[in-house]
Amino acid sequence: MNEDQFIKALQEQGISVNLTQHHQYSTYYQKLIEWNQRVNLTAITNKEEVYLKHFYDSLLSLWHFPIANKSLKVCDVGAGAGFPSLPIKIIYPEIKLTIIDSLNKRIQFLTELTAELGLDQIKLLHGRAEDFGQDSHYRGQFDLVTARAVAPLNVLAEYCLPFLKKGGQFIVLKGSHSQTQVELQEAAKAIQVLGAKLAQVKQTHLPEDEGERTLLLIEKTLDTPNKYPRKAGKPSKQPIK
pLDDT (tens digit per residue) in 131-188: 999 999 999 999 999 998 778 999 999 999 999 999 999 999 998 888 899 999 999 9
Q: Can you give the pTM of this predicted structure?
A: 0.94
Cα-Cα end-to-end distance for the chain: 41
Is residue 211 pLDDT above 80, yes or no?
A: yes
CB 49, CB 58: distance < 8 Å:
no
At residue 71, the pLDDT reads 86
Is residue 59 pLDDT above 90, yes or no?
A: yes
Give 60-78 pLDDT, tens digit per residue. Answer: 999 999 887 788 999 999 9
Q: Is 115 annotated as a binding residue?
A: no
Given CA atoms 237, 78, 164, 63 in this order, what sign does their dihedral have? negative
Is residue 199 pLDDT above 80, yes or no?
A: yes
At residue 69, the pLDDT reads 78
Mean pLDDT of 42-66: 94
At residue 139, the pLDDT reads 97
3 state DSSP class of 67: coil
Strands (DSSP E) found in 131-230:
142-148, 164-174, 196-205, 212-220
Domain 60-237: CATH class, spelled out:
alpha beta
In degrees, rounded to 5, the angle at the alpha carbon of residue 145 between the alpha carbons of residues 48 and 221 is: 145
At residue 7, the pLDDT reads 96
The three-state (H, E, C) secondary structure of 41-52, written as one string = CCCCCCHHHHHH
- Of 81, 77, 100, give the one whose Cα is nearest residue 32: 81
CB 85, CB 79: distance < 8 Å:
yes
How would you classify the pairing of strands 196-205 and 73-77? unpaired
At residue 231, the pLDDT reads 95
CA distance linking residue 139 with residue 229, whole number of Å: 10
At residue 208 the predicted structure's pLDDT band, cuts being 50, 70 and 90, is: confident
At residue 11, the pLDDT reads 96
What is the per-residue burial (b if ≥16 Cβ within 10 Å, else e) of 31-61? bbeebbeeeebbeeeebeebbbbbbbbbbbb
Can you name the residues that pair with 169 across neighbouring β-strands?
Answer: 144, 219
Can you name the residues that pair with 125 across neighbouring β-strands?
Answer: 100
At residue 241, the pLDDT reads 87
Q: Is 148 annotated as a binding residue?
A: yes
CA distances from 21 to 7, 55, 103 (A): 10, 12, 27
Q: Is 118 annotated as a binding residue?
A: no
Mean pLDDT of the chain: 94
At residue 209, the pLDDT reads 74
CB 106, CB 80: distance < 8 Å:
yes
Give 152-161 pLDDT, tens digit per residue. Answer: 999 999 999 9
Q: Is 9 annotated as a binding residue?
A: no
At residue 15, the pLDDT reads 94
Q: Is 130 annotated as a binding residue?
A: yes
At residue 4, the pLDDT reads 95
3 state DSSP class of 78: coil
Neighbours of 188 (CB within 10 A): 17
At residue 144, the pLDDT reads 97
CA distance linking residue 16 with residue 150, whole number of Å: 29
At residue 101, the pLDDT reads 95
Give 78-128 pLDDT, tens digit per residue. Answer: 988 999 999 999 999 999 999 999 999 999 999 999 999 999 999 999 999
